[in-house]
Structure 1
Amino acid sequence: MTIKTAHIIAHSHWDREWYLPYEKHRLKLVRLMEDLIKAFERDPEFANFHLDGQYIVLEDYLQMMPHRAEQVRSLVEQGKLIVGPWYILQDEFLVSSEANARNLLIGILLSKKMGGYAKIGYFPDSFGNMGQAPQLIRQAGIDVAVYGRGVKPVGFNNEVQSGNEHTSKYSEMYWESPDGSRVLAILFANWYNNGMEIPTNPEAAKAYWAEKLAAAEAFASGPELLFMNGCDHQPLQKDLSRALRTAGEMLPDVEFRHSSFPEYIEALRQANPDALDVVRGELRSQWTDGWITLVNTASARVYIKQQNVRSQTLLEKVVEPLVVMAHLTGSSYPRHELLYAWKTLLQNHPHDSICGCSIDEVHREMMTRFAKSQQVAESIAADSAAAVAAAVDTSGFDPESARPFVVFNTSGHSRSGVVRTTVDIERRYFDHQAPHEKYEAFKEEYHTFDPEEWIVTDEGGKPVEANIEPLGPVFGYDLPDDRFRQPFWAFQVDVELYVKDVPGIGYRTYALVRKDSLTKAESVSPAAGGVKADGNAMENRYLRVEIAEDGSFTLLDKVNGRKYEGLGIYEDTGDIGNEYMYRQPDGEVPLTTEGLSADIRLVKHTPLAAVYRIERVWNLPLGADALLDEEIRSMVPFRYRKSRRVSETAGVKIVTELTLGKDSRSVGIRSMIDNTVKDHRIRMLFKTGLAADHVMADSIYEVARRPIQPEAAWSNPSNAQHQNAFISLSDGIAGLTVANQGLNEYEVLPAHNTMAVTLVRGVRELGDWGVFATPEAQCLGTHVLEMELISHDADVVESGAFIEAYQFPVPWTVHQTGVHGGKLPANHTFLEWEGDHLAFSALKLGEENEDLMFRVFNVSSAAPTTLSFAPSFQVNGVYESTIIEERGEEMGRNEQSRYTAELGPAKIQTVGIRPAL
């Protein structure tokens, strides 16, 4: 007879903030930790406690109770408090690839400093799991994952499924990434509370364990049974040792062990792991009925998602590349400041935070954290750009009239496009004496400023196509390192120029100069590819956009001849669900702007860009009827609600701006919605007409291929899914991609294979286990939503359109400088690299060394590729590295003095570079 072992793991799933604000949750955490310290002191049988796979619980506790630091460190070193490997328990899909990686890296480093970490990929409550998780954690030396959602190993009423390659017969399985990385995976089949509040009374214990053991055995592959002694914010079970002794006395054929994950996993490996099934890729509950996926957290409180993308992009794709450039130029690396900015951002990434499914107080505090992280990032970026610009040799420009400025591309890929910046023609510093009079004098001196007398040139004096508009005197100030603040009036001009082929980790230098200072004052004639606009249409050499009377538009791709009609229609439906799940009222017909008249105006037209503004006031229902409040108060499950929207309406003003730039194969879309109504969802629809059975969606370190039609068990009328930077459809010959900034929810509708992107969703309750009103989740007020519609050949990967989609949220960085010598050339790339299907991910310094960490990933899940790169600076060595910045094999140069690495499909590759500074 096989002896069963019941592994009881003491834990508390610690949502940092959720149905209570952060500080109220933290006080409960303090009580838990105090009880734990006492339990370890008083009960030698109390073996250990799992701190939910995240380091931040210790950080939060010790910030309030710093006198406990050495006690905590000792308990971690002894293995009694089990922490890490994550910094926080994130939502995997709603944060960037790099944010997932930094969460792991920072969590491991901090946990190691505190005494060690658990080598477990812990995902207890993520709302779905990313397909690249096995590769990510394998790179961190972790070969086991534990998760609670995303895969369905059993059917209704505990009926074990078989014959489905997407699911597992057991709660133990193998999980494989698209690159082939595989880990042992354990599902909380009976959730992470299946061993909570174990009774000490013998009769109660007998009944308790009869039920619990049978439930676990129904899913387990062998005699090693997992029981989680805890739940959300669960206080410590102080009599756990006694409860386990009672269980052993009542059931002598079962070994009840106060266990740990390392012990349980080791025992599991000794069983028969070869009999386990394999699940592959993303685990998004795609094999369920679709009602409890929690996917609509992707559209809850969109304003939070937008700020998150801004914060992530600033750190990953602006600050860190600029800081590396400045460091290579001689500046010190602001390591601690960057870590603070990253940690502040990551504190907004727990699944109940970034998902927008908490009470209003939580999300107000999140906005402050976003602001803090952004303020630090913006300051570091400005300082770094200034340091590099000061080292650029601009002596080729006229010293009297030139106003040089450096255009940085930090997106990682070569980039062309329209750049807009302000340039100071002159600054007048002033003290505290009569600043108004000095302003008036300055204004009078420049009142006849003529932009026709100025021109933009490149470093060789060649004119560049640009538009120059005076802005007038504006206030500014310097904060020197060695003296008091210096206020000034600056006469500024707005400069819009077209830049071409700016290197991905580099810059180009331009200058605003007076025409009369040039030896030969060339005039700039609009080059081919300029934008034309007439009536309600605009076009360049690649695209033509025609706007209909209802504000929808037709896109003609002149390259491949494809025409897409009926783009940009708005759709509105009621939503009687909650922050977790969308629920359209029964029998409701969606409202759309199709056929509704709109005011269409051309508001900007230059050879570089044209902008059409489309305005309308759309009368929409005020909100749900009174029944919804009663259904919420009485906790009627959202899917069974009968509420409808009222007949009364209010005007919702929607302004859409369509922008077409010079030489662009994409259309910029800026949507401004003044949301005045409640309980609804607004989406923008893109009818493609493309024959495709799958959508390609940007996910975490991969472009995922997802079927448009859901699995057979799916019964939810909505099939909304997560996206990160973009979604794309293609028939193999042509394709359309919609890139976004913080719009994480999409659906592909069967009619015309229409891509629908959620812009605003408003609901009135948190949902889940209680009654929590969230009036601010109605998202009333003005929202500005940005997308880019990219037309291309083939699919988004083969065409390379993914590069433009990834670049879309990344701003250009421009810094004005003077005419001076310098050790850097006027145009420069710090790290030149190439590789088919490769996406840039990061360029930073190591967390524990001065090595450059350069990371890319293969967006193709089918084709291998080669990374080839050449630093422009002297190096002391190059080596292969990992997500956690471990040093691997040294890399040598080839005959062309370049470094190369072979990357398999879906491979994440980090390279360490030791600069010879």
Structure 2
Amino acid sequence: HRLLLKAWKLVLQNQAHDSIYGSGIDPVHDENEARFLQAIEIASNVAYEAARVVAERGGFQAPPNAVARIFVYNPLNIVRSDVATVIADVPEEAYEVVDERGRRAPVQIVKVFEEWGRRVRLSFIAHEVPPLGYKVFYLVPAKGESEVMVDEGTRIENEFFVVEADAERGGELRIEDKETGMRLEGVGVIVDEGDAGDEYNYSPPRERDVKVISTSFKARIKRIRGPVFSKLLIEYVLEIPARLEGQRRSSEKAGIPVVVEVTLYRGVRRVDIRVELENRAEDHRLRVRIPTGLRVDRSYADSHFYVIERRIEPPKGEGWVEQPPTTHPQLFWVCVTDGVRGVTVANRGLPEYEVRDENGAVIYLTLLRAVGWLSRGDLQTRRGHAGPPIPTPKAQCKRHFTFEYSLILHEKGWLESKSYIEARAFALPFLTMQLEARDGERSSHSIISVKPVELVVTALKKAEDSGWLVLRFYNISGEKVEGEVTLGFKAREVWLANLNEEPLERLEVEEGSIRVSVAPHKIVTLMLSPLPG
């Protein structure tokens, strides 16, 4: 608990006004990044050690040929089948996993590590992992060879989607939904624009903004097809202006190497995309373009305890100091829907999006902005300075980046289709761990279950001032919901509390369950006193 508190305080130190949204001098953000890295390391190690304690007792009667136990923890409050990836200290051979019911699932090797001894990264589909709980699988030798084919094909598919990449147009994607017939064209195109703004605001160059699109370049494509996933590896070099010269983009070019991975997993209704690039240019903005073909006038974005609806057309902003923004914040996802069909784009750490009407709604995800000033006074999008005019060369972001997002095509809206659940599943992957292959006492267990799915769990933690547990969730819908919380342990008391963790009302626990009525968009905090053991 003390270590988690330390990590939390490091994160809180980065919440200062000019720190959290990146409008400080370079040394401030050097310290921000160091704090975030420390917090990540502390939290990761605490999670690993806690999972290891739980996992030691997990399992069932081990198959005689088992080479490892694989512990899979699900951080969502739904029963979930999704891809699980684990680094295992086992030989590079063909494997399967088996669960307590004897069901087998294929395993596919993702990568072989030569460092610190030969280890492999394995992927498999972990079926029916309980909510806020774990399930144990045993890794066993496969009965046959795990057939993985590598070639120069440009098309992959699973039960739900067909994805094709156009090598002549920078690997531009065409996606077809097999169930609904919905098609997306021109997906995943990277758009580069000049950025004459500062750390506060984007602003295009006044004189000549050369827009560069990845479809202008040819790509090399490699296809990998196996029993768990199929993948397209798309590589090209994006040639863009090297910098601004005054208010013009330079004629000198900088080559940005780009690698795009497009992955379809068996049984998973998403198109997962990973972009790696080395930014070697200055004064520009990189975004990825996702045309939906939907005629809509608004978007829906995940935010804090709420889904916010925004109109695509901004207000006129007459007399405003700043032009009304067209880019907006998001947490895990953004969705556009016409009520019949929809496209939800999930992300891991990409907080800015824009939706434009370009003969249909087009979602733009911001990958990065590269600027050289804390504040400039010559922007087109804002009058005057927003802060001191201090050079910030590190804000040019000349380094290696990895970006991850996922496409979820669905019928109806985000709530009816429950695309928000799939988006959270992408953003919050399974936690996995390899253990020795021996018998265990319990094959799976749910710590806490919260139903229905409209109740989204945001925290399960130790209380600040006691040994009690705090469970927090909110109603993502606009309708009243009758909720049921099922405990995977015995509790002495359960109280309804406020956000300050102050008890308000004692709740009845009947056969391990608590019932609570949750008003539209309401946040609920429960405090639970577990019995020892």
Quick check: 1:910 aligned with 2:493?
no
Instruction: Please state whether the residue corresponding to 1:337 is helix, strand or coil.
Output: helix
For 2:57 and 2:282, the matched residues in 1 are separated by 54
Match of 1:756 among 336, 339, 364: 364
Equivalent pair of 2:189/2:215 in contact (CA under 8 Å): no
For 2:208 and 2:4, the matched residues in 1 are separated by 49
- Change in Cα spacing, 1:358 to 1:830, as seen in structure 2 (3 Å) is same
- Change in Cα spacing, 1:393 to 1:458, as seen in structure 2 (3 Å) is closer
Quick check: 1:343 aligned with 2:9?
yes
1:843 is aligned to 460
Q: Deviations over 1:858-896 (max 9, x none)?
A: 122x222122121121111222122111112122246x7
Deviation at 1:387, TM superposition (A): 0.4
Q: Percent identity?
A: 31
AA partner of residue 856 (structure 1)? F
- Change in Cα spacing, 1:609 to 1:847, as seen in structure 2 (3 Å) is same
For 1:697 and 1:371, the matched residues in 2 are separated by 27
For 1:858 and 1:887, the matched residues in 2 are separated by 20
Quick check: 1:695 aligned with 2:312?
no
Q: Deviations over 1:216-261 (max 9, x none)?
A: xxxxxxxxxxxxxxxxxxxxxxxxxxxxxxxxxxxxxxxxxxxxxx
Deviation at 1:598, TM superposition (A): 2.4
Instruction: Please state whether the residue corresponding to 2:503 is helix, strand or coil.
Output: coil
AA partner of residue 583 (structure 1)? S
For 1:836 and 1:813, the matched residues in 2 are separated by 21
Equivalent pair of 2:316/2:324 in contact (CA under 8 Å): no
Deviation at 1:593, TM superposition (A): 2.3
> What are the equivalent positions in structure 2 for 1:136-215 lying under 5 Å apart?
none
Deviation at 1:472, TM superposition (A): 7.5
> What are the equivalent positions in structure 2 for 1:64-83 lying under 5 Å apart?
none
Equivalent pair of 2:258/2:278 in contact (CA under 8 Å): yes
Deviation at 1:818, TM superposition (A): 3.2
- Change in Cα spacing, 1:874 to 1:785, as seen in structure 2 (3 Å) is same
AA partner of residue 814 (structure 1)? T
For 2:365 and 2:52, the matched residues in 1 are separated by 38
For 1:405 and 1:463, the matched residues in 2 are separated by 13
- Change in Cα spacing, 1:513 to 1:408, as seen in structure 2 (3 Å) is same
Quick check: 1:707 aligned with 2:308?
no
AA partner of residue 36 (structure 2)? F
Instruction: Please state whether the residue corresponding to 1:451 is helix, strand or coil.
Output: coil
Deviation at 1:493, TM superposition (A): 4.0
Match of 2:107 among 466, 473, 476: 466
Equivalent pair of 2:25/2:374 in contact (CA under 8 Å): yes
- Change in Cα spacing, 1:777 to 1:738, as seen in structure 2 (3 Å) is same
Deviation at 1:730, TM superposition (A): 0.5
AA partner of residue 769 (structure 1)? G
Deviation at 1:473, TM superposition (A): 7.2
Further displaced range: 493-502 or 653-662:
493-502
Equivalent pair of 1:533/1:610 in contact (CA under 8 Å): no
For 1:785 and 1:587, the matched residues in 2 are separated by 31
Gapped regions of structure 2 (runs ≥ 5): 376-385
Deviation at 1:455, TM superposition (A): 3.6
Equivalent pair of 1:720/1:745 in contact (CA under 8 Å): yes
Equivalent pair of 1:571/1:682 in contact (CA under 8 Å): yes
Higher relative contact order (CA 8 A, sep 6+): 2
Gapped regions of structure 1 (runs ≥ 5): 1-334, 426-448, 476-489, 516-521, 628-642
Quick check: 1:451 aligned with 2:93?
yes
> What are the equivalent positions in structure 2 for 1:366-405 lying under 5 Å apart?
366-394=32-60, 396-398=61-63, 401-405=66-70
For 1:799 and 1:582, the matched residues in 2 are separated by 34
- Change in Cα spacing, 1:906 to 1:472, as seen in structure 2 (3 Å) is closer
The normalised TM-score by structure 2 is 0.90
1:816 is aligned to 434
For 2:242 and 2:112, the matched residues in 1 are separated by 42
Deviation at 1:779, TM superposition (A): 0.8
Equivalent pair of 1:451/1:470 in contact (CA under 8 Å): no
> What are the equivalent positions in structure 2 for 1:506-545 lying under 5 Å apart?
506-514=133-141, 535-545=153-163
- Change in Cα spacing, 1:644 to 1:385, as seen in structure 2 (3 Å) is same
For 2:349 and 2:357, the matched residues in 1 are separated by 24
Instruction: Please state whether the residue corresponding to 2:19 is helix, strand or coil.
Output: helix
Further displaced range: 540-549 or 591-600:
591-600
Deviation at 1:911, TM superposition (A): 1.4
Further displaced range: 693-702 or 587-596:
587-596
1:825 is aligned to 442
- Change in Cα spacing, 1:450 to 1:661, as seen in structure 2 (3 Å) is closer
Quick check: 1:869 aligned with 2:485?
yes
Deviation at 1:469, TM superposition (A): 7.7
Deviation at 1:908, TM superposition (A): 0.8
> What are the equivalent positions in structure 2 for 1:460-499 lying under 5 Å apart?
460-468=101-109, 471=112, 475=116, 492-499=119-126
1:856 is aligned to 473
For 1:818 and 1:721, the matched residues in 2 are separated by 47
Equivalent pair of 2:340/2:413 in contact (CA under 8 Å): yes
AA partner of residue 586 (structure 1)? R
For 1:591 and 1:573, the matched residues in 2 are separated by 5
Quick check: 1:881 aligned with 2:497?
yes
- Change in Cα spacing, 1:497 to 1:836, as seen in structure 2 (3 Å) is closer
2:378 is aligned to none
Instruction: Please state whether the residue corresponding to 1:760 is helix, strand or coil.
Output: strand
Quick check: 1:650 aligned with 2:265?
no
1:43 is aligned to none
Instruction: Please state whether the residue corresponding to 1:808 is helix, strand or coil.
Output: helix
- Change in Cα spacing, 1:533 to 1:726, as seen in structure 2 (3 Å) is farther
1:204 is aligned to none
Deviation at 1:400, TM superposition (A): 6.8
1:117 is aligned to none
2:380 is aligned to none
- Change in Cα spacing, 1:493 to 1:645, as seen in structure 2 (3 Å) is closer
Instruction: Please state whether the residue corresponding to 1:535 is helix, strand or coil.
Output: coil
- Change in Cα spacing, 1:590 to 1:854, as seen in structure 2 (3 Å) is farther
1:290 is aligned to none
AA partner of residue 451 (structure 1)? E
Richer in helix (by share): 1
Match of 1:580 among 191, 200, 212: 200
- Change in Cα spacing, 1:832 to 1:586, as seen in structure 2 (3 Å) is same
Instruction: Please state whether the residue corresponding to 1:385 is helix, strand or coil.
Output: helix
Equivalent pair of 1:536/1:600 in contact (CA under 8 Å): no
Instruction: Please state whether the residue corresponding to 1:598 is helix, strand or coil.
Output: coil
> What are the equivalent positions in structure 2 for 1:232-271 lying under 5 Å apart?
none
Equivalent pair of 2:150/2:223 in contact (CA under 8 Å): no
AA partner of residue 81 (structure 2)? S
Count of residue pairs the alignment pairs up:
516
Match of 2:172 among 552, 555, 559: 552
